[in-house]
Amino acid sequence: MHRYVYPDGALYVLHTKNRENGLVIDSSVSFGQLVSEMNSYAHFCVGDKMDLGPWDRYVKARWWSFRRGTVIYRINDLLDERRVSPRMTQEELVMQVDAFATSRV
């Protein structure tokens, strides 16, 4: 919701909606805390190999989507770096990995 920049770093004020408690306000959150929480929430890291098909596919980038409330991944297959990489939410990516794993069995 807000960012306060100081000489030694920035602090954030976060507003989140909780189904049980309504609006939750977290103040004085550092950038390190934000990154740490995203790392604990995310299922995949940049550089991880994905089993989505016959070609090698890798996670090229990931970031937090505040609008969707989840991690967004950019996937590429290294066959052609000029090709536009698909973007998937974490939920979509997990479903596709699980579907491919069950189709191989």
User: What gap in Å lies between CA 30 and CA 36, rounded to an integer?
Assistant: 10
> Does residue 79 have a pLDDT over 80?
no
Give the list of residues 6+ apart from residue 61 with CB closer than 8 angstroms, or none. 46, 73, 74
What percent of the chain stands above pLDDT 70?
Answer: 90
Q: Rounded distance, CA 88 to CA 98, Å?
A: 14
Contact 85, 75 (CB under 8 A): yes
pLDDT, one tens digit per residue, over 48-65 is 988 887 777 888 899 988
pLDDT tops 70 at residue 14: yes
Identity at 50, one-letter amino acid code:
M
Nearest in space to 59 (alpha carbons), one of 90, 91, 105: 90
pTM: 0.73
The chain-wide mean pLDDT, for the chain, equals 84
